[in-house]
Amino acid sequence: MGTDRTVAVFGAYGHTGRFVVAELRARGLRAVLVGRDPDKLKALAYGTGPSGTTVYGTGPSGTTAYGTEERATGTYTTPPDVRTASAHDPASIDRALTGAAAVINCAGPFATTAAPVIEAALRAGIPYVDVAAEIEANLDTFAHYAERARESGASIVPAMAFFGGLGDLLATAAMGDWATADEAHIAYGLSSWHPTAGTRTAGAVSRERRGHGRRIRYTGGRLEHRDDAPPTLEWRFPEPLGPRTVIGEFTMADVVTVPSHLTVPEVRTYMTAEAARDLAAPDTPAPAAVDERGRSDQTFLVDVVVRSGGAERRAVARGQDIYAATAPLVVEAVERVLTGRTRAVGVASAGKMFDAPDFLRALSPHITVELFS
């Protein structure tokens, strides 16, 4: 166990990892940068953050500066630890986690990295949180580590990201005092989707694991593989988005996280057709920064509807850039675990591990959330 304010970020120089490192810094937590490539780690430590602005550099009198605003105020801090580690080398991960109070895994594909980093976290006696959107990888985490983590009192929170974590928090908050619901619908209204290289790689791994051409849906209280094409339908998003064509049963990690703790036999996820086409197109470019925080111009509206009998409850989240939005989600989770603001032990999704309404309120101003009953 390390100091309470030191967090190892495995995959720190990846697109999402850079946002996570910046968010840790903004909250006063110290990041340990971990990854396979020492040159990329050093470039992150002494080079640029998500927006292309300087993260670390040389200030007056040769002192080391952290961030452009800190140079402006004359405040300088020590650069982060840089530690090389590979998912294929357990000893290197152990060394990388030395002195850390928790680890955030941002390195996909998580089918390859989750288990080795979880094992290292268990050996180190520290919490593990990841941003996995891969359905199969998240299923593996629940299946392989639930009993061990519960017996050891460890905290493991998979899918603590835009896909899987946010939808689970919204569905849990919308349920309120309902013990069960008949169905939960999570509709993603993305203005566009410029996928990162990591997203494309993770998607390819998932498709290979389930069999090319097959898809997954959650119905009748279980996961079901399908060989047919998903339906296309219309979803009436709240304004200003309004009615949009969506791909129905565009299944995301929510079908793992939501049923892991909520009694809802039907969990469906949807994606705006334009975003689905962007993701599928091989020539769609990676996201490009448009502001000082490094966010792209992508906007999102997540519309969650849960139904029980004739009653319906709703939760809506709005924000900018799904990759950037993952950072406050996962860092808020780590802070809550480190400060004991949890509701479960072992492997647990966001909605089970945390007070969902309180967690969602804490995401402002990064993500705006409304609850309707």
pLDDT of residue 78: 62
**What is the pLDDT at residue 51?**
47
Name the pLDDT band for 50 (thresholds 50, 70, 90).
low
CATH class of 6-126: alpha beta
Q: Which two tokens stand for residue 15?
A: 């697109």
Tens digits of residue pLDDT in 115-134: 999 999 999 999 999 999 99
Listed range (47-51, 53-57, 82-86, 117-121) with the worst mean pLDDT: 53-57
- The Cα–Cα gap between 323 and 307 comes to 29
Mention every residue, 6+ apart, whose C-beta is less than 8 A from residue 36: 84, 85, 86
Mean pLDDT of the 102-116 span? 97
If pLDDT is split at 50, 70 and 90, which confidence band does 77 have?
low
Cα–Cα distance, 62 to 369 (Å, whole number): 45
CA–CA distances in Å: residue 67 to residues 54, 83, 101, 329: 6, 21, 24, 22
| pTM for the structure as a whole | 0.92
Is the C-alpha dihedral spanning 201, 351, 6, 293 positive or negative? Answer: positive
**pLDDT for res 48:** 52
* 2 within 8 A of 126, measured Cβ to Cβ: yes
Supply the pLDDT for residue 63: 29
Amino acid at 185: H
For residue 264, CA distances in Å to 168, 251, 306, 363 come to 12, 16, 9, 26
CATH of segment(s) 162-321+366-372: 3.30.360.10
* Average pLDDT for 238-259: 97
Confidence at residue 213, expressed as pLDDT on a 0 to 100 scale: 78
Give me the residue spans of the domains in the chain: 6-126, 162-321+366-372
What value does the mean pLDDT of the chain take?
91
Determine the pLDDT at residue 80: 78
Whether 72 shows a pLDDT value over 50: the answer reads no
Q: Which pLDDT score is estimated for 58?
A: 30
The 10s digit of each residue's pLDDT in 252-265 is: 999 999 999 999 99
Residue 106 has what pLDDT?
98
125-169 per-position pLDDT tens digit? 999 999 999 999 999 999 999 999 999 999 999 999 999 999 999
